[in-house]
Structure 1
Amino acid sequence: MVPSCYVHIPFCDSICAYCDFVRIQKNEQFFSNWKEKLIQEIQGYKITNLHTLYFGGGTPSLLSISDFASIRNCFPKDIDEFTVECNPESLDEDKLKSYVDLGVNRISLGVQSFNDDLLEVCHRKHTASQAISVIERIQKSSLSTFSIDLIFGLPNQTMEDVKKDISTFLSLDIPHLSIYSLQIEENSIFGKTGVEPCDSDLEADMFEYITKTLEAAGYIHYEISSFCKPGHYSKHNLAYWQDKDFYGFGCGASGRINGIRYDNTSSLKKYCSLGPCPSYINETLSERAMDAIMMALRTKFGLNMKEWNLKYQNDFKVHYASVLDKYRAYFCFDGECIFLNDAGLEILNTILVDFMLIE
């Protein structure tokens, strides 16, 4: 059984300056054909059991409730975790209630900052006060959990700005945070207008402050960019990090079935006329094994070496003995699991390069 499913909703009301995902401003010319092809794609798999379902984008909360329901109803009724990405300006009280009625039990809210000047720089359509109002609305609902996204290292963002964002986050008593350093993507507005990345030392200082402050407040730093209160992990994202298969539906979506990864077409015009047109990624067993290591070491749960050995027909400790010895001060062991301590997570990319150099 494939336990998880990601559905990509490519439409947005406006384009954020940092975004390089497959997205387009909502266009009624394409929309009905897109929805028809998406429903056909999903129904072709006859899914009867699912652990997690995630509607991402784009801006899923831009969909009308009737359009949302027609897509949601392609899936089983009972889903352990059903997450929808939302923007504050498109999540009102009626829509939130409808989501709950349709089985949504987790919202991922794109806040990005509680600083109105930085929101304007990012071309966001909401204000900080709007975001706070929506957060309070979610807290009054019957949703079992929710998360917000924040970004640090934004243009002209100071350490004091970051401290204020984290202070506001903590004051709101939110159960989960995904926080990312700004990456300047070539095809984003920032990339096309020559915005320079944040100074690397300042970025490192910001991340260290974020980590120490949230951990001191009782949040679990369970993945490089993810913090949560106990019991509020993102089950869907854990499926990615723990080497599980997942369906990917929609224009621009990616998936993995029987260990084989695929990317659907990113052309909305092509998707609307021909469907997903997936391209399959031809990886060797050793390449898949390396992917599993890269994803697992992002988390505090780490890699189960026994399972990895069986799945990828190798002996992890023997094959990577030189890397484990070189970075022995950063690795921790718990039974069959290996994971990185906080200092190791800070140099994860460096460690992974050494893993990849092993044939």
Structure 2
Amino acid sequence: MTLESSASPLIFGGAAQSPRAALPTLPPLALYIHIPWCVRKCPYCDFNSHTAAPVLPEEEYVDALLADLDQDLHAVYGRELSSIFFGGGTPSLFSAEALGRLLKGVEQRIAFASDIEITLEANPGTFEQEKFVAYRKLGINRLSIGIQSFQEEKLKALGRIHNGDEAVRAAGMARQAGFDNFNLDLMHGLPDQSLDDALDDLRQAIALKPTHLSWYQLTLEPNTVFWNQPPTLPEDDTLWDIQEAGQALLAEHGYAQYEVSAYAQPGRAARHNLNYWSFGDFIGIGAGAHGKLSHPDGRIVRTWKTRLPKDYLNPAKSFQAGEKTLTNEELPFEFLMNALRLTEGVESRLYPQRTGLTLESFAEGRREAEQSGLLQVEPSRLAATMRGQLFLNDLLQKFLT
């Protein structure tokens, strides 16, 4: 897109827009790296993950990731990386050698912040002590371990490849490998789960002393086995009891809720997540990865990469599958869809800083949300009320145009 004059209407997504101010400063920049292979696809999973062959194409995939990154370097604009997140799939299937070559290649292209947070997702079934010691030596300083449950029958129902004992050992091995900052992923609302079952899982997770807990309800997503063959899930009253009792238990043990499903010890909120929810920028590389990139002229562009690993690795095909420049009308919803997931919301001034628009661009929706008791009446802050957090979709509907 060519900007002929800052006073001319801008063209975003094919429609004439009112002029949008250039961004005063660009948001912090993060990097998301998608590793799309798993030992086995779980029946509830709607992420872009694929069953791994006996030998993974590590070298070819790292080459492709760095070539993909090269094509996004134009959007760095001199910024350094505040965080890197290896997601999947199961990134811990890759060797330390492969991840080391990748991280070295990334740092040669984009400077790392001195306190950069580098997170690797891992599953207990892929834990190997020597491998995780090597990961830590590479500079990876945070793990996110996919536990989901400690109970055998629940793990079987979820199609997980590990057992409860392996989950406990994984947390211990993470600490022994030098990771003093790690997250445990835990689900509730599992097939035939009772309140006591859910709280037992949560107590076991807390006993392992993670610095962060992602505790979220199982939902049935389209294009999954569970969607087509639904298991018997707890009744709504039981789900509500689990949510209330679980939140109280987490608070009692010093885990503060800072996002819909994220709880952390003081100072241990995931910086990568905070950047995402506060409408920061992130480059997404890897099969099916998504990105969000701001430009000094005011454009904010969402990108997505080729989904299938075989296509991503095909030199005849483009890494990027598509992009969309957000319109002025879309920005209030896009911004608030992220910011209002944070329990404390964000400062109001962040909206013009991150979008180039004034707060008046969603003033009517804000008034309606406040009058409905869904949004806090606080001029200097954009934050959902307790009721708004429970009915977040209803709250966001106020900002759809």
TM-score, length-scaled by structure 2: 0.83
- What is the CA-CA distance between 1:20 and the residue it aligns to? 1.1
**Residue 313 of structure 2: SS of its match in structure 1?**
helix
- What is the CA-CA distance between 1:32 and the residue it aligns to? 4.7
With over 3 angstroms needed to count, the CA separation of the structure-2 counterparts of 1:10 and 1:144, relative to structure 1, is same
> 2: distance between equivalents of 1:181 and 1:283?
30
Task: Output one character per residue of 1:212-250: Cα deviation in whole Å (capped at 9) or x when no partner.
Answer: 211122211100100011010000011110011100000
Give the alignment partner of residue 54 of structure 1, picking from 68, 81, 85: 85
> 1: distance between equivalents of 2:58 and 2:181?
31
With over 3 angstroms needed to count, the CA separation of the structure-2 counterparts of 1:171 and 1:278, relative to structure 1, is same
Give the alignment partner of residue 307 of structure 2, picking from 226, 248, 266: 266
1:124-143 alignment, distance < 5 Å: 124-143=160-179
Runs (5+) with no aligned partner, structure 1: none
- What is the CA-CA distance between 1:316 and the residue it aligns to? 6.4
- Do structure 1's residue 230 and structure 2's residue 269 form an aligned pair? no
Aligned to 1:21: 47
- Do structure 1's residue 276 and structure 2's residue 303 form an aligned pair? no
With over 3 angstroms needed to count, the CA separation of the structure-2 counterparts of 1:26 and 1:192, relative to structure 1, is same
With over 3 angstroms needed to count, the CA separation of the structure-2 counterparts of 1:338 and 1:283, relative to structure 1, is closer
Task: Output one character per residue of 1:98-156: Cα deviation in whole Å (capped at 9) or x when no partner.
Answer: 11110011000000001111011111111111111110122233324110101111111
> 2: distance between equivalents of 1:32 and 1:191?
35
Asked if 2 retains the 8 angstrom alpha-carbon contact of 1:37 and 1:275, the reply is: no
> 2: distance between equivalents of 1:29 and 1:323?
50
2:213 alignment partner AA: L
Structural RMSD (CA): 2.2
Task: Give the structure with the higher percent helix.
Answer: 1
1:313 alignment partner AA: T
> 2: distance between equivalents of 1:183 and 1:263?
24
Aligned to 1:8: 34
1:116-155 alignment, distance < 5 Å: 116-155=152-191
Task: Give the % identical residues.
Answer: 28
Aligned to 1:84: 120
- Do structure 1's residue 322 and structure 2's residue 368 form an aligned pair? yes
Runs (5+) with no aligned partner, structure 2: 1-25, 295-299
Asked if 1 retains the 8 angstrom alpha-carbon contact of 2:370 and 2:377, the reply is: no
> 1: distance between equivalents of 2:386 and 2:250?
13
Give the alignment partner of residue 189 of structure 1, picking from 199, 216, 225: 225
Give the alignment partner of residue 381 of structure 2, picking from 337, 340, 350: 337
Asked if 2 retains the 8 angstrom alpha-carbon contact of 1:8 and 1:251, the reply is: yes
- What is the CA-CA distance between 1:171 and the residue it aligns to? 1.7
Task: Output one character per residue of 1:157-193: Cα deviation in whole Å (capped at 9) or x when no partner.
Answer: 1111101011112222221100111111222221232
Asked if 2 retains the 8 angstrom alpha-carbon contact of 1:30 and 1:272, the reply is: no
> 1: distance between equivalents of 2:178 and 2:220?
37
> 2: distance between equivalents of 1:121 and 1:44?
42
Give the alignment partner of residue 287 of structure 2, picking from 251, 257, 265: 251
Number of residue pairs matched?
355
Stretch deviating more after TM superposition (193-202 or 286-295): 193-202
- What is the CA-CA distance between 1:30 and the residue it aligns to? 5.5
Aligned to 1:75: 106
- Do structure 1's residue 173 and structure 2's residue 209 form an aligned pair? yes
> 1: distance between equivalents of 2:254 and 2:384?
20
With over 3 angstroms needed to count, the CA separation of the structure-2 counterparts of 1:92 and 1:195, relative to structure 1, is same
Aligned to 1:213: 249
Give the alignment partner of residue 201 of structure 1, picking from 237, 246, 258: 237
> 1: distance between equivalents of 2:350 and 2:42?
41
TM-score, length-scaled by structure 1: 0.92
